[in-house]
Amino acid sequence: MTHEILRDIEKGNKASLMKRRIITYYIHNVNSTITDLTKELDLSVPTVTKIIDEMCASGYLNIYGKLETNGGRHPNLYGLNPAGGYFVGVEVKRESVNIGVINFNGELVDKRMDIPYRCENTYEALDRLCELINEHIASSGIEPRSVLNVHISLSGRVNSVTGYSYSYFNLSEQPLTEVLSKKLGLRVSVDNDTRAMAYGEYLRGIVGSEKNVLFINLSWGLGLGIIINGKIFTGKSGFAGEFGHTPVLDNQLICRCGKKGCLETEVSGSALIRILKERILSGESSIVSEMVNGNLDNLVLNDVVKAVNNEDTLCIDIVESIGYKLGKQLASLINIFNPELVIIGGTLSLIADYIIEPVKTSIRKHSLNMINNDSVITISKLKNQAGIVGACMLARSRVFEI
């Protein structure tokens, strides 16, 4: 069944395009009658009925009872068959991997978080990633042939259209999607991790009717996901959103991108860890020292999150400073984009009020009141699951959205 779906898509003829449009329609509308579809597709009832019958027979669609009407025949309600296919989302982080699976309806049916993994730009790391994906599919009980797409989210510069990643796994002249597809034996797509988080939040998180949204990924680095008129904005080469590499500082610190003065050198998880170590070594105290048995090289962001939530004053002070600096730069983005919603996500969003309040204070001070009054500043609803939910949803949209 799965092979038939993919073959239909790859044919690119009128019939396959129509089936793809119908599936996309049901992704957004859950269920409907044939009459509704004829209006959407601008086709005759007999033509749509024939296509729907074929799609039901192939396992794409199910009949979900009948629509209650005032007299006359009750038409059938059609919708996606949850078992029609599965989509795998993979969020690659600095020291772990999250893997999830959604069914044809977009329901999360399986996930595993924080699988130990070291993300490095090596063949060994790439092979290990493929092993973890295959192991997860096998353990989920889903037949590999029923997986329609695997979407992998990576930090850094990723061109989702060409399939190239330029920050990680740029080990071949071939697109990363082709390399991974050969290794996994499955269809593969890739994108930037922050865009995946923004997409997950947009479809399954805090976003309601808003169509213009900025998503801030405040984790080890600093990323920006931009949604304009309900669509993810990627820029010409897929690199839009490199917020952390805005050259706004005069601190002479060399960023991981190789340049100086990047916002990320003072507003990010990596900056937080660096500043925290410096202040502890200069004589200030923090409970994180006990948490890592005095070995500050073992500090990770989750340690800081725990310390802040346990009211560690040094960590709180640094977090509030980072929040204020972030808010000052967000004020510029709000003046430029005039968004309805600004979402703070990523690992440091787990600190909640300690990060969001200084952000709001700084935005009020540095942005235009007439503009910032239109923007709601909030914390991610999905929190640490935004990335995996978004990766799964992107896995499906890369196949069926048109």
| pLDDT at residue 72 in the model | 59
| pLDDT at residue 370 in the model | 78
* Residue numbers in the chain where pLDDT is lower than 50: 1
Can you give the three-state secondary structure of the chain, one letter per residue? CHHHHHHHHHHCCHHHHHHHHHHHHHHHHCEECHHHHHHHHCCCHHHHHHHHHHHHHCCCEEEEEECCCCCCCCCEEEEECHHHCEEEEEEECCCEEEEEEEECCCCEEEEEEEEECCCCCCHHHHHHHHHHHHHHHHHHCCCHHHEEEEEEEECCCEECCCCEECCCCCCCCCCHHHHHHHHHCCCEEEEEHHHHHHHHHHHHCCCCCCCCEEEEEECCCEEEEEEECCEECCCCCCCCCCHHHCECCCCCCECCCCCECEHHHCCCHHHHHHHHHHHHHCCCCCCHHHHCCCCHHHCCHHHHHHHHHCCCHHHHHHHHHHHHHHHHHHHHHHHHHCCCEEEEECHHHHHCHHHHHHHHHHHHHHCCHHHHCCCEEEECCCHHHHHHHHHHHHHHHHHHCC
| pLDDT at residue 74 in the model | 77
Query: pLDDT tens for residues 285-327?
Result: 999 999 999 899 999 999 999 999 999 999 999 999 999 999 9
| pLDDT at residue 58 in the model | 86
| pLDDT at residue 4 in the model | 67
| pLDDT at residue 29 in the model | 86
| pLDDT at residue 14 in the model | 78
| pLDDT at residue 28 in the model | 87
